[in-house]
Amino acid sequence: MPTAMMDVSDGLSSEILHICKQSNLGAVLYEEKLPIHSDSKLMGMEFGLDPTACALSGGEDYELLFTIKQEDYEKLTLSEEISVIGYMKDLDEGVNIITRGGNIHPITAQGWNAFK
């Protein structure tokens, strides 16, 4: 599998779907692995917003989303600056998020689309 990289300025859900479409692959993300700052969680709750939904559909985070070959995974564990949030899989398995409770939900694009 080739590597891919893009910024998440249009929201994580939109960007993972772009990578999957361009790579002709599916993906699994784990809710518990999404790096959401504690202040962001508190602010979301204060406004009655689900922090995970904000992480998936919010933008302008200036973070990068990228894929790597499985054999390079161990290299990432050496960095505290990188969060492994999931993995790529076969296209016919779809693009899903596994919640903290173990439920599986399809990921849909919720972020900004500059071309609409």
- What domains does the chain contain, in order, with CATH numbers? 5-106 (3.90.650.10)
| Residue 85 CB coordination number (10 Å) | 19
CA distance 29 to 44: 21
* pLDDT for position 53: 87
Cβ neighbours, 10 Å, residue 50: 12
Tell me which amino acid residue 49 is.
L
* pLDDT given for residue 114 in this prediction: 44
Task: Select the more confidently predicted residue: 27 or 11.
Answer: 27
DSSP string for 46-113:
HTT--HHHHHHH------EEE---GGGHHHHTT-TT----EEEE-GGG-EEEE-TTS-EEE----S--
CA 44, 85, 11: angle at the middle one, nearest 5?
A: 50
**Which range in 46-60, 72-86, 95-109 is most confidently predicted, on average pLDDT?**
95-109
Banded pLDDT at 32 (limits 50, 70, 90): very high
* pLDDT beyond 90 at 93: yes
User: In this structure, which amino acid lies at residue 114?
Assistant: A
* Whole-number pLDDT of residue 37: 86
pLDDT of amino acid 115: 43
**pLDDT at res. 75:** 85
Given a cut of 80, whether residue 57 has pLDDT beyond it is: yes
Residue 18, SS3 per DSSP: helix
